Structure 1
Amino acid sequence: MACEESYGFLPCSDSLGGSIFLMCAYGFLLLKGAEYISEGSEHLLGVLSPGVIGGLVLPVLGALPDTLIIIVAGLGDRETAQEEIAVGMGTLAGSTVMLLTIAWGGSVLLGHCDLDEQGRMKNKTLTKPFDLKETGVTCDQPTSKSAILMAISCVLYFGIQGPALFGLYHSRVAASVGAGLCFLCLCAYCTYQLLEPEAQRKKIRAAQKHFHKMYAVGKMAEFTRSFGGLLESDGSLNLATCQKLFDHFDTDSSGTIEKAELHALLTGLAISSESLAMEDTAHWLDDFDLDKDGLIDSSEFVAGLKRWVAEKRAVARQTAGMRPSSDGGHSQAASWLVSLPEEPLLGAADAGGDEEMEGEDEDDAAEPPTAQQIVTKAVALMAAGTLICGFFADPMVAAVNNFSTASGIPSFFVAFVVTPLASNSSELVSSLQFAARKRSKNISLTFSQVYGAVTMNNTLCLGVFLLVIAIQGLSWTYTAEVFTIVASTVVVGAVGYSSTTFRTWVALPVLAIYPLSLIGVYIMDHVLHLDG
């Protein structure tokens, strides 16, 4: 039988090569939709209650792509839904295991630093990169608490798995009760996040700092056009320009920039207003001041600018499909370098407007977006992302099933690997990049995101999955998959709760859980035949 086109016009293929191409194409579109949802939700952080956004909106929207795939996999007649729902289970299991292993273990490997006498990481210090015992990462205590909450959420799987162990594979009552418990726990978890805002405070602060950096690079690039530009023609940092910029703000010619001078730099470049809190200025000082003497010398200033420019180049490549050229910083400066980010987290930051040090024309200053403009753009991005994910989830599920048929690989295993890469890769990459900055607070945020995302999978995504099972009257034959999810979550949750410092070697067995999960499911399903 020839494959059926989704919506009557989107292409499909029964061949192995064609289905691989379509999985890549539809997966890329799902990835873009997930990025729009993430970007739109972050916009809201600047204008709405951080508790509401961080505790409710961000977790729900983060799980939305996977949720839509699960819903679409359960549509159609009962026979078709029973076959395609395996894609939904593969997505749920694959997303959970990928976050617990690749995101968690990868963050430890990329973020590991030397450990001090107390066994805590020394931020940005790595003298023994291949020592797995004397290096590691450290997170804060609230992050460890999130790990145990994640592990406890696994109990929800036994609402449906318990009856299945006694041969009740077709219990609509069990599926309905299980879905209700999942949604109840989802509400409780979101309420907890609202009442205990530590996690979202870290997310909000980290996002604000990131966008401030991107904004600062753009402003510096504009300011330095008149005396050589920030970049050389080959794309490297213009050291002479950096020295001029340093000298310009070293007002007392002491050879170092102090906290007050840094505050003046931010205000003078319209990176921030005069009302900028001194603790924000302290953040900039902390990021540049490598020897922690409270001063920024010329070499530290150049090193800091180099990191920020590299970060903005990476963001330009990732977010907009732009290809930063090696264009220098003169009048033809690369657009990605001088572009000012539209993120609302910086909305008030450029309120200082147009008072450039060199008397730039006032008409060239960028006006900060209003709250209404921010909300409008955020809603538009989230709506577009939701529509994209919802629209292309169906052809993605079909492509996975067609590939499964053509290759002889069960659709669960295909979905386990492929669909989470589409729906979660942007979050995965950003988490790893954030951890690579080698700071304890960055590790705390990354681990908090992992624990929160898995908890949403165990509540929202599982609840939707069980609701589809109940409505369609489908069979629950996922004992092996449940065992894999629960075992992975409990192991990583126990590790995360047991300590706030994790030595680098711990990442290796955690990463090994990913292939072991696939092997375990195959053995339990196709050798032991746990579900008959």
Structure 2
Amino acid sequence: MNKMYQTFIKPWIEHTRKERALKVQLISGVLDHAQNDMVGRLLKDDGTPDKDAIKRLFGEVDSDGSNNVSRSELEKIVKETHFGRGVDSDEAVTKLLHDLDVNKDDEISENEFVDGFTKWLNSNSNQAASSKSSSHEPHQTWEEVEKVMEGNQTKGVSAWLEALAYVFLGIIMLSLLAEPLIHSVQNFSEAAGISSFFISFIIVPLATNFREATSAIKEASHKKSSNTSHTMYEVSHVPGSSQINNSVDS
């Protein structure tokens, strides 16, 4: 179990964390750049996304006026955004395009752009309002899983060693006891003139299980006799049974 965790589960957890953190960083960076350096505030006074402002942003990003944002136009915005170290621009463009391009035609239409930025703004607002309660719960859950798995690592090793010790002990006992038993079966077979196969698979199992079989039969017989006695006792104490017996005797 620990080997499977180290090989598959833990790398997947780390990859998922990095992907989530990178996506949050990219979206926050693009939104900050758009609001600070391009069209200004993208939210209304009540905190909801301003779709008119998002459409104006779309018009600025769509530099060639094709009513679609191409990969190269999105790449220009990414390069103008200061994400900091560790962010590859090509990877950032690919992830943002994947999130915005719903119909997967490698272009972002105005509706896709507005819907995508609306989703980003709502998500960003929710994270700002309850960042500790919402964003740390999945991390805390996976951290608890890691602690449990790492805590069981030592126990798992000791359990494996103990199991191997029992296996080797069983092999040693089998090696010591099997040969005398084989010789005894062969000697009995030669003396009685009976096939060793018959002795090994019929007589020996019957002999080893005879005691358990007789005990089970005796117990079953005892239960049957007890049930019979109990039944007769109940019949004899049924109301009116004495009158029936007297009438039969008369």
Shift in alpha-carbon separation, 1:235–1:207, aligned structure 2, 3 A: same
Which SS does the other structure have where 1:270 is aligned? coil
Shift in alpha-carbon separation, 1:242–1:455, aligned structure 2, 3 A: closer
Shift in alpha-carbon separation, 1:272–1:264, aligned structure 2, 3 A: farther
Deviation, structure 1 residue 256: 0.3
Deviation, structure 1 residue 249: 1.3
Query: Who is 2:218 aligned against?
Result: none
Query: Who is 2:145 aligned against?
Result: 454
Paired with 2:7 and 2:58, the residues of 1 have a C-alpha distance of 43
Q: Note the residue ranges of structure 2 that are not aligned, 5 or more in a row.
A: 156-250
| Deviations 1:177-211, CA, capped at 9 Å, x for gaps | xxxxxxxxxxx788x369x8454233212211222
Say if 2:51 and 2:118, in contact at 8 Å, map to a contact too.
no
Query: Who is 2:18 aligned against?
Result: 204
Please state if 1:276 is matched with 2:115.
Answer: no
Deviation, structure 1 residue 238: 1.8
Q: Note the residue ranges of structure 1 that are not aligned, 5 or more in a row.
A: 1-148, 154-187, 322-424, 432-448, 465-532
Shift in alpha-carbon separation, 1:267–1:210, aligned structure 2, 3 A: same
Query: Who is 2:168 aligned against?
Result: none
Paired with 1:312 and 1:241, the residues of 2 have a C-alpha distance of 17
Instruction: Number of aligned residue pairs: give it.
Output: 154
Letter in 1 for 2:73: E
Say if 1:219 and 1:271, in contact at 8 Å, map to a contact too.
no
Which SS does the other structure have where 1:454 is aligned? helix
Out of 87, 107, 118, the position equivalent to 1:306 is 118
TM-score, normalised on structure 2?
0.50
Say if 2:98 and 2:104, in contact at 8 Å, map to a contact too.
yes
Paired with 1:268 and 1:220, the residues of 2 have a C-alpha distance of 10
Please state if 1:253 is matched with 2:33.
Answer: no
Please state if 1:316 is matched with 2:7.
Answer: no
- Structure number with bigger Rg: 2
Q: Normalized per residue, which structure has more helix? A: 2
Please state if 1:219 is matched with 2:33.
Answer: yes
Paired with 1:427 and 1:272, the residues of 2 have a C-alpha distance of 23
Out of 58, 72, 77, the position equivalent to 1:265 is 77
Say if 1:249 and 1:262, in contact at 8 Å, map to a contact too.
yes
Say if 1:256 and 1:295, in contact at 8 Å, map to a contact too.
yes
Paired with 1:295 and 1:272, the residues of 2 have a C-alpha distance of 26
| Deviations 1:31-83, CA, capped at 9 Å, x for gaps | xxxxxxxxxxxxxxxxxxxxxxxxxxxxxxxxxxxxxxxxxxxxxxxxxxxxx
Paired with 2:51 and 2:125, the residues of 1 have a C-alpha distance of 18
Which SS does the other structure have where 2:59 is aligned? helix
Which SS does the other structure have where 2:104 is aligned? coil
TM-score, normalised on structure 1?
0.25
* Percent of residue pairs bearing the same amino acid type: 21
Paired with 1:320 and 1:216, the residues of 2 have a C-alpha distance of 22
Query: Who is 2:46 aligned against?
Result: 234
Paired with 1:249 and 1:320, the residues of 2 have a C-alpha distance of 33
Work out which structure has the larger RCO, using CA pairs closer than 8 Å and 6 or more positions apart in sequence: 1
Paired with 1:222 and 1:427, the residues of 2 have a C-alpha distance of 28
Deviation, structure 1 residue 240: 2.1
Shift in alpha-carbon separation, 1:452–1:318, aligned structure 2, 3 A: closer
The farther-off stretch of 248-257 and 454-463 is: 454-463
Query: Who is 2:220 aligned against?
Result: none
Paired with 1:311 and 1:297, the residues of 2 have a C-alpha distance of 21
